[in-house]
Every structure is written in C-alpha cells, then in structure tokens.
Amino acid sequence: MAQKPVHILFLSAANSARSLIAETLLRDFGGGRVRAFSAGTQPDGQMLPMVEQLLQTKGYDTAGLFSKTHKLFMEDGAPDIDLVISMSAPDENELVLGPLGALRVHWQMPGINALKTSSDQKNFIKTIYKQLEDSICQVLQPSWDGLSVRDVQCLFERVGPVTKNSNKPYNEIFPAPYFGDFTGTELALA
C-alpha cells in the first residue's frame, strides 16, 4: 500500500521569497512523498519579482505561486497539514502559528527586507535558493519508507539552514562566498 504524502507548510512573514522558494523546491524534489505549501503571517500579496525571475530561470512554472495568509490553512476544507516549517530571521518574532495539530520545525533564516540595492537583493535570493536547495535535498536523500511524520520532522530539524537551537553566527551558517558580494553593504537581518 502506498504511503500517504506528508503535507508540509512553509511559513514566513510575507510569503514573498523564502517560503515560496522552499515550497517550489520541495514540491519538485519531493515527488509523491510530500505535498508542499507556503503561507505568511503577514502576507504582502505578491511574490517578489526577483524570486519569480530566479525560479523561472531555473525552469519552474510560477503560475500557481502567490503570497497568501496562513489562515487559509485553518479553514474548513483546507488540506490537513502534518508539519509546519517556520522561517524567520533572529530579529523577527518566531513564527509558531499554523494549523492546530501539526508538528513544527523552525528554520532561522535571514530576510531580504533590509538590503538596500537590487543587486544585493538578487545575490541574496540566489544564496537563499542554494541554501534551501541543499537542505531540502538532504532531507529527501534517505528513503522515507516507513517513516512517521515525527521522523520526517526530525529530518527537517537536522538539516535545516539553521535550527531554532543553533548558537552559530550567520557567517558560519552562510559562509563568506554567499555574502562575498555584500562588501560595504549594511546587512541587517530583517
């Protein structure tokens, strides 16, 4: 008998960059093991054009992607979410909202809002894309046959870009090559 796909919701503040990239990657790489979704606690209603451009350049169809509220996943008829992965920078309030009953993981990731120039933002989005791609590929590497949702939660906790309990500074998590193009730029993590 085929195992039911795990329903995973990536939750961020605006749902305009990080969580949409994660949804796209997990949906593509996850095959029948997962159904991926994303939402925001304060969605701004649109995907950042730079994110849309990057995803399209990588060959993804972005027609169905849009910024949406997490409240949609708490309504009658919404998909049952098994695991919520909240994504926020250290100075953002940790996102722990989401559908009741779902297990939770927190991935601490910098946001894009404080970057001043378009060039810095584009480089940053490429960095976040690569970090999420690496993490999601690691999560999906082992066979999920016979794994419970709690086991899947543990996989996401182990390989996330930064876990909730990590004491590593960002320069150890996002090495210098990722931020090498930000010379002279004030990078406030917001």
In a domain, 111, yes or no: yes
In a domain, 187, yes or no: no
User: Which residue did the predictor score with more confidence, 92 or 25?
Assistant: 25
Mean pLDDT of 138-166: 83
173 pLDDT above the threshold of 70? no
In a domain, 177, yes or no: yes
Q: What percent of the chain has pLDDT over 90?
A: 56
Which CATH number belongs to the domain containing residue 105 in this structure? 3.40.50.2300
In a domain, 20, yes or no: yes
Phi/psi-derived region of residue 54, left when phi > 0, alpha when psi is between -120 and 50, beta in every other case: alpha
State the pairing for strand pair 34-40/83-88: unpaired
Which residues fall within 8 angstroms of residue 89, CB to CB, at 6 or more apart? Answer: 108, 109, 110, 111, 189, 190
- pLDDT for residue 44: 85
- pLDDT for residue 163: 40
In a domain, 140, yes or no: yes
Mean pLDDT of 107-121: 82
Instruction: Please give the model's pTM, rounded to 2 decimal places.
Output: 0.83
In a domain, 166, yes or no: yes
- pLDDT for residue 97: 61
170 pLDDT above the threshold of 70? no
Mean pLDDT of 129-152: 93
User: Which residue did the predictor score with more confidence, 60 or 186?
Assistant: 60
In a domain, 126, yes or no: yes
- pLDDT for residue 81: 96
- pLDDT for residue 187: 32
Q: What is the pLDDT of residues 65-91, one digit of tens each?
A: 999 999 999 999 999 999 999 998 777
Q: Look up residue 97 and give its two tokens.
A: 């909202």
Range of the domain at 37: 6-182
Instruction: Count structural domains, the chain.
Output: 1
